[in-house]
Structure 1
Amino acid sequence: MSAWYLVQCKPREAERAQEHLQNQNFDCFLPMHPMMRKRSGKFCRVVEPLFPYYLFINLDEFSNWRVIRSTRGVARVVSFNGQPQIVSDEIIEGLKRQCAQLDGSAPEPIFTSGERVMITEGCFKDLEAIVQTARGDERVVLLLNLLNRTQPITLPVHAISKMR
């Protein structure tokens, strides 16, 4: 009987680990989701792991566990008290359904309503503001406190960044 287990991967090597494990005929699942990321001053759509540093692997009692630990990109099989813990099939199936639904959908919005941001360009540079709404993928309406009054301003998305 086979079961799903959780594998911890080395930093930024989950996809590499998945590739090398699949090359060894292991059944792996790396949940992915679309995101908007800023690259070279512009926002673009990327697909990233839902759980950075982790992937799921389906193993049975006859699987060779030693080769998993020595696979490129793999750090360890997650275990408690020295025993690898089984991840229920219902969780894996639910994640697979969610990832299938997200495949063709729009990525998560970059900024959400009510989020505090920092203006990084223009005459309001280095001022804090609150996101009111997003206007498509390229512009966002901010609420800026000027002279004790809240003023709405519209800026391009690349002119603001999330507060740290």
Structure 2
Amino acid sequence: MKNWYAVYCKPKEDERAELHLDRQDFEVFRPKHRVRRKRQGQVRTIIESLFPRYLFIHLDDVAENWAPIRSTRGVAGLVRWGDRIPPVPDCVVESLRDNLDEVGCIPTPPADYKKGDKLMIQEGPFAGHEGLFYGRKGEDRVMLLLEIMRQPQKMLFPEASVARV
């Protein structure tokens, strides 16, 4: 009978482990999500593992040879509790797989700003200014109410360039 198991990977090598296990015809699943990171002075959206250093592998506990897994590049070993390797419930993996978007990522919920929340602008010509959250415009943009020349003005900013005060 086939079950899902968790594989523990070497630091920053879960993508390599996934690639090499896949090349050996193992069925693997590494859930990913989008994250905003500041790189070289710019905020960029990148795709990372949802569970860094872990991935799931679908194995038959009777008919399949597990020995090559330990020596696969990027793999540290299977997750164990003592000398037992516990299976991951199928419903956990199915739930993750059911929620993938078109690129294979688990959607990250937008920040839960409420109208009137104070936000600080982190980048651009208005960096350092505070504004009030007014609403969303599209998936990645927020509308802030800024006081400019003693007049409230609605302005759009990338969500990645603002943060709560």
Q: Same fold (TM over 0.5)?
A: yes
Q: Which residue of 2 aligns with 1:88?
A: 89
- Within 5 Å, which residues of 2 pair with 1:1-164? 1-33=1-33, 35=34, 37=36, 41=42, 43=44, 46-61=46-61, 62-99=63-100, 102-103=101-102, 108=108, 111-114=111-114, 117-121=119-123, 124-127=126-129, 131-137=133-139, 139-142=141-144, 153-157=154-158, 160-162=161-163
* Contiguous gaps of at least 5 residues in structure 1: 146-150
Residue type matched to 1:133 in 2? Answer: G
Secondary structure of 2:144's partner?
A: strand
Q: Which string of whole-angstrom CA distances, capped at 9 and with x for unpartnered residues, describes residues 31-67 of structure 1?
A: 234x3646663655x5443323211011223433342
Q: Which string of whole-angstrom CA distances, capped at 9 and with x for unpartnered residues, describes residues 87-136 of structure 1?
A: 1122222222222xx22699546644147653224565335556442222
Residue type matched to 2:92 in 1? Answer: I
Give the root-mean-square deviation of aligned CA atoms.
3.7
The structural deviation recorded for 1:9 is 1.9
Secondary structure of 1:75's partner?
A: strand
Contact 1:141-1:152 within 8 A present in 2 as well: no
Contact 2:120-2:164 within 8 A present in 1 as well: yes
Aligned length: 156
Residue type matched to 2:88 in 1? Answer: V
Distance 1:126 1:97, change over 3 A: same
Alignment identity in percent? Answer: 39
The structural deviation recorded for 1:14 is 1.8
Contact 1:6-1:87 within 8 A present in 2 as well: yes
Distance in 2, matches of 1:26 and 1:136, equals 39
